[in-house]
Structure 1
Amino acid sequence: MDLLVLPELWDTGYAVSDLEACADTDGREAQVFLSDLARNYRINIIGGSIARACDGQYYDYLSF
């Protein structure tokens, strides 16, 4: 089985000035997206980290 490894903040492209608009609130959106890709293409995916919003703060968060 193939392995896809994504870099840090792959989901925002380091758009730090736009984190309010593009940060994943609970990480669920990234998890569902990567899970669907892995299942559809029969690959393993390491999601790196995502920009996560929590209580008005933004974190570089390990996606899973």
Structure 2
Amino acid sequence: RNLVIASAAEEQAQVAKEVDRNIVNIRDLSAQSSSGAGQINGSSRELAQLAVALNEAVARFQL
């Protein structure tokens, strides 16, 4: 009986370690996603500014 309990405890410890690793991976991926979203936001703002500048430049050439 003690052997079964010890085996179950060891299995639970291994599962807990795996859960911990997965949580760390999720945290890291979330940080990467957040960073990427910030970069996309900055690029989108820059693209919007370029579009405004292009519209202004094109407006000068309209007849």
TM-score w.r.t. the length of structure 1 is: 0.26
* Higher relative strand content: 1
* Higher relative helix content: 2
Higher relative contact order (CA 8 A, sep 6+): 1
Q: Which structure is larger by alpha-carbon Rg, 1 or 2?
A: 2
TM-score w.r.t. the length of structure 2 is: 0.27
